Amino acid sequence: MYTGRRNLEWVPVSGRGRLYAWTRTHSAWPGHEHRVPYLCALVELEEGVRVLANLVAGPGVALRAGMPLVLTWESLGDAQKPYPAFAPINTTSS
């Protein structure tokens, strides 16, 4: 929901959410051609906020809207700091 507010603040969140929508991207940005294709997802956090993030999922993972996700950290290279991404939660293991 867009409110137009400019007084934003940082709020801690759980790091868990659900897959709302996704796309498989085949366009690389300069210097990252080796990363395509990659998944870009809209994740609805448990707190109700939707965030745009990379989705880290193996080739055999069947994506579906509503599947549970968890925050993970991914790096763009050896010298790069990790950035937040999301990965499917393995619901088949105990």
Residue 44 lies in a domain: yes
Q: Could you tell me the pTM of the whole model?
A: 0.80
**C-alpha 6: how far from its chain's center?**
25
pLDDT in tens, 34-87: 888 889 999 999 999 999 999 998 878 899 999 999 999 988 776 778 888 999
- Report residue 35 as tokens: 């990363």
Residue 23 lies in a domain: yes
Residue 4 lies in a domain: no
Q: Which domain holds residue 21?
A: 16-88
For residue 81, the model assigns a pLDDT of 82
Residue 5 lies in a domain: no
Residue 6 lies in a domain: no
CA distance to 3, 62, 91, per residue, from 67 (Å):
28, 10, 10
Residue 29 lies in a domain: yes
Domain count, the chain: 1
Residue 11 lies in a domain: no
Residue 8 lies in a domain: no
